[in-house]
Amino acid sequence: MLIHLELSAVRFRQEKDLYLNKLSFVTVVFDGDGKCVIAKEKEVELKLRDATLAKLAQTGITMKTEVDLKPGTYLLREIVRDSESGQLAALSRTVEIPY
């Protein structure tokens, strides 16, 4: 699973010449009956310089999360939280793993 996050709305704390934030990515997979079959969390600590922050503000970042699923229909939910402002973003998608 690839998760793309736009960083233009993410607030960073500046400490000397670095822009800091910690992003928490929570991936939850529900089966066709609505039961949670997988839940994973990944934290990414960002320590960016001016040039890197400017580039990522234009391109965003992409995170990869691997999940092993049997064939079937699933609801994938991704939640992202940043440590500096506490903002949350969430997205849900239905996917079908072919038999």
Which of 23, 4, 5, 3 shows the shortest CA–CA distance to 13? 23
Domains contained in the chain, number: 1
pLDDT tens track for 34-55: 999 999 999 999 999 999 999 9
The CATH number assigned to the domain holding 38 equals 2.60.40
Enclosing domain of residue 65: 2-97
pLDDT value at residue 43: 95
pTM, entire model: 0.86
Residue 17 has pLDDT above 90, yes or no: yes
